[in-house]
Amino acid sequence: MEVLASGEHTSGEICGTIAAEFDVTRAAASWHLRILRENNWVRMRPDYTMRLYRLDDRAIDRLSREVAVLRRLWRGRIGSQYGADPLPVKKKRLAAGAAKGMRGNRYDEWRP
């Protein structure tokens, strides 16, 4: 969305940026761009042999509404009334001797 919000770009520019930024193939980025176009999030304008894409004018309002829904869901999540995250940090046991200079068992924090 940030790339599209910055102005008009060719599909090659958009797909190249997304592929590099998120380590996905250009084909995957192109597929997502098509989905955005089909669902009226972006507009495409042909210019000779190029196709120029930009964020639809109404997309910012739609994004704001979607974020509001997500915020409402987040505030009502399980455990939120107790101030606890429903997915607490888990402890992962490392093999003995995995940490240099440590004796016994060692646990490191990790998130699923």
Structure tokens at 106: 């060692």
Q: Which domain holds residue 41?
A: 2-57
d(CA 46, CA 23): 28
H or E element in which residue 45 lies: strand 42-47
Same domain, 67 and 52: no
Q: Are residues 79 and 32 in the same domain?
A: no
Give me the amino acid identity at 77: R
Same domain, 7 and 53: yes
**53 and 68 belong to one structural domain:** no
Residue 96 in any domain: the answer is no
pLDDT at 1: 83
CATH number of the domain enclosing 28: 1.10.10.10
Task: Answer whether residue 24 is part of any domain.
Answer: yes
Single pTM value for the model: 0.59
Successive 10-residue mean pLDDT values, the chain, 112 residues: 88 88 88 91 91 90 91 79 61 53 47 44
Q: Is residue 99 part of a domain?
A: no
**Count of structural domains, the chain:** 2
Query: 24 to each of 28, 31, 75, how far by Cα in Å?
Result: 6, 11, 32
Q: Which among 6, 8, 7, 26 is positioned nearest to 16, based on CA atoms?
A: 26
pLDDT of residue 89: 60
